[in-house]
Amino acid sequence: MSDPFELEDAPAPAPARNPSYFDGLNDSQREAVEAVEGPVLVLAGAGTGKTRVLTTRLAHILMQNRAGPGEVLAVTFTNKAAREMKERVSRLVGRPVEGWWVGTFHAIGARLLRAHAEAVGLSPQFTILDADDQVRLIKQLTDIHEIDSKRLPPRAISGIIQRWKDRGYMPDKVPTSEAETGEGKVLSLYKEYQARLSTLNAADFGDLLLLCLELFRKRPEILKEYQHRFRYVMVDEYQDTNVSQYLWLRLLAQEHRNICCVGDDDQSIYSWRGAEVGNILRFEEDFPGARVVRLERNYRSTPHILAAASGLIAFNEGRLGKTLWTDVNEGEKVRVRGVWDGEAEARMVGDEIESLQHKGQKLNQVAILVRAGFQTREFEERLITIGIPYRVIGGPRFYERQEIRDAVAYLRVVAQPDDDLAFERIVNLPSRGIGKTTLQIIHTYARAEQTSLTRAIATLLETDELRPQAKKALAEVMATFDLWRTFAGTMAPAELCAQILDESGYVDMWRMKKEPDAPGRIDNLKELVAALEDFETMGQFLEHVSLVMENEERSDHDKVNIMTLHGAKGLEFESVFLPGWEEGLFPNQRSLDEGGNASLEEERRLAYVGITRARVRAMISFAANRRIYGQWQSAVPSRFVDELPGEHIDMMSESGVYTRRDGAVKQADDAYLDVEGIGRSRRRMIRSERPQSYKPTAGDGDKLSVGTRIFHQKFGYGRVAYVDGDKLDIEFEKAGIKRVMASFVSPA
């Protein structure tokens, strides 16, 4: 520099350094984070990192001082998701964040209502009723009007009212086409129900958004206040929003229009609880000029798994469209297996899990995802047989279900009249007019005489301690049980169970309730009847149930996960088994009958969700036969099996079970299916005999000599250890030594 007083040129400013929270974001994720102005729809496919995008976007808004915590509304569907968002954002910004509006729709709705309760006829201390409280309140109203609870059950009425609320209908807004539901009685009850809620200073969950909409309608200045306050609105799982939630969000986002909805139209599977997939499909119409960002890079699954799921969902017409991809190793193809019956399916899945466990697979990274709850029974029993611990998520285990416990209680009383616990459970189930007073008299006498309840009743029926009506009802119950006991020695257990459930009125009780879960409970009872087909005597079955319940007390933390496909959304596992891909079961026939093509597309989305839960391996299976009420019913493979792209699946089926249109099926004679053996690499034959393909005659036990290898539908393979006429002692490979009838086995 020639002039010492001359300043050097100032250095060029360094390029702005990316914030640290941008580290690791791919291009699409970063685009979604930085697109903070105007309406934005983020189509986030399964496993594409949407949670990270949401939290980073919120942190970015705060760190760029675009808004304060109290000027951002972030809505989730679960409290867990809300807590996770708060924790992640706090870590990203490096400090706790106070004063923000982050929570579930219901939580934020309640917060708004408590601030302005008087405007909708409530005080700020209003009570929020749970589902049971709602039903009890409706029952009070139906009792006042002497409405037959069998024709219009209070729980069913509650369900109708909640669906109206999900769609934004106050009583005066219910469409004419629906106003005559239940001969117009439901609408009338809805009006009285809302009036009663106001009197009680209470609201139900549906009201938390519906009354917000009423508040905004009646008091536009309040709406304006919140429209101005919330500079940014962010919504998670937008495809699961109902109409009320949709209207609520649209109203709040009108002023600034900085709304970001994150969701996946291909994972909209909750229409049965009010979700409207149309909300996400018409986002661009609702917000003209909206920016759509597609997150398509998957960080969860292998290319074959993604391609199989993408090929299947492409058959849906009502979707925005995206193609998931990954740069991970190719991995194995999705295996699709066709077997002869449901029991063979359970054995195959059980053996696969056993093999994975031997290779070091953590059991909590294994999931069996079923379409219907009754499917869990065969898998539970198979896992118990081979000693694999498991948990049923999102519902009780099969034998823990209320209807199954009730049915088993009936069987226990037939087998053992002195079983007081079982007898007390079902003596007035269904209702027979045997009330608490009658039972108290019976208990008092039984304790005094140190005898069982049934013996006490036998004595009291000869005296006058009991009221005539109760006495008559008890006499009928006792006579019916006596009759069933006479049948127990001659009827097959499954046949007797079906008769008991029918004659007792227990199945009719659930059929008449017409509650949302009633059909599923009836299906479970059918599955129970089918389960008894595997047992020669009622005593064997009851002992089996005891062993199953004992297993439930095990404290193993590493357990196989069994759950429904609906319950699996948002979860991921290394290995996923998807059984029961048959027409009528999946897609579910009841859903198709009620919703037509719209329901079919939702069922296909459910299949997509199931496949994309898998990180490393997925196996789909279907059976040609299933037993319902002890009767074999043929099943056709699900249409979804044909829709899977052949180049991404490894298809194998027992001979005669399935022929794929593109010919991509390996026919496995004698049911040789690929299952790696335990402890050594080999092919294990999983054999499932066709129903009635082997018909032994009298004296067949003599033909099965000691040492003969046999196959049993329940216990699998074994060798004859002792022959006693038509009874055999068999040492099974998995189940140990069992005594069975010769008619239940076939030479292997």
Give 10-residue mean pLDDT values along the chain (748 residues): 42 55 90 94 93 92 90 90 87 82 91 93 88 87 88 88 94 90 89 92 92 95 96 94 95 95 93 88 93 94 95 93 85 93 92 94 95 86 88 78 90 86 86 84 82 84 78 88 87 89 89 77 86 82 72 64 91 96 91 91 96 96 76 83 94 76 55 38 32 36 75 78 78 75 74
Q: What is the pTM of this model?
A: 0.72
Return the H-helix or E-strand segment holding 672: strand 672-676
Paired with 652 in beta bridges are: 337, 666
Q: Report the distance separating Cα 172 and Cα 73, nearest Å.
A: 31
How far are the Cα atoms of 400, 513, 528, 529 from residue 404, in angstroms, in the given order?
Answer: 7, 17, 7, 10
The contacts of residue 11 (CB under 8 Å, 6+ apart) are: none
Q: Is 216 exposed, middle or buried (0-12, 13-18, 19+ CB in 10 A)?
A: buried
> What's the confidence (pLDDT) of residue 119?
93
Paired with 731 in beta bridges are: 719, 737
493-503 and 538-551 helices cross at what angle (nearest 10)? 80
> What's the confidence (pLDDT) of residue 527?
83
Beta-carbon neighbour count of residue 683 at 10 Å? 11
Q: Is 615 exposed, middle or buried (0-12, 13-18, 19+ CB in 10 A)?
A: buried
State phi, psi for 743 to the nearest 5 degrees: -70, -10
Token representation of residue 595: 């919703």
310-313 long-range contacts (CB < 8 A, ≥24 apart) are 311/643, 311/644, 311/645, 311/648, 312/604, 312/607, 312/608, 312/611, 312/640, 312/643, 312/644, 312/645, 313/266, 313/604, 313/605, 313/608
HSE toward the beta carbon, residue 576, CA cutoff 13 A: 30
Token representation of residue 723: 């022959």
Beta-sheet pairing, 127-129 with 736-741: unpaired
Return the H-helix or E-strand segment holding 613: none
Q: Report the distance separating Cα 274 and Cα 161, nearest Å.
A: 12
The contacts of residue 694 (CB under 8 Å, 6+ apart) are: 746
- Length of the chain (residues): 748
How far are the Cα atoms of 407, 427, 542 from residue 399, in angstroms, in the given order?
Answer: 10, 20, 11
How far are the Cα atoms of 23, 41, 50, 229, 232 from residue 56, in angstroms, in the given order?
Answer: 10, 16, 10, 21, 14
Q: Report the distance separating Cα 73 and Cα 233, nearest Å.
A: 5
Cβ atoms of 346 and 368 closer than 8 Å? no
> What's the confidence (pLDDT) of residue 661?
59
The answer to whether the peptide bond before residue 587 is cis (omega within 30 degrees of 0) is yes
DSSP state of 182: T
The CA R_g of the chain, rounded to the nearest whole Å, is 31
Active centre residues (catalytic): 50-51, 236-237, 267, 613
Closest among 295, 317, 326, 310 to 41, alpha carbons compared: 295
Return the H-helix or E-strand segment holding 270: none
Return the H-helix or E-strand segment holding 447: helix 436-449
Q: Report the distance separating Cα 142 and Cα 147, nearest Å.
A: 5
Paired with 672 in beta bridges are: 685
DSSP state of 273: G
How far are the Cα atoms of 37, 54, 260, 295, 326 from residue 32, in angstroms, in the given order?
Answer: 11, 9, 9, 9, 19
> What's the confidence (pLDDT) of residue 514?
66
Closest among 270, 210, 272 to 239, alpha carbons compared: 270
H runs (alpha helix) in 298-375: 303-313, 342-358
Q: Report the distance separating Cα 262 and Cα 74, nearest Å.
A: 11
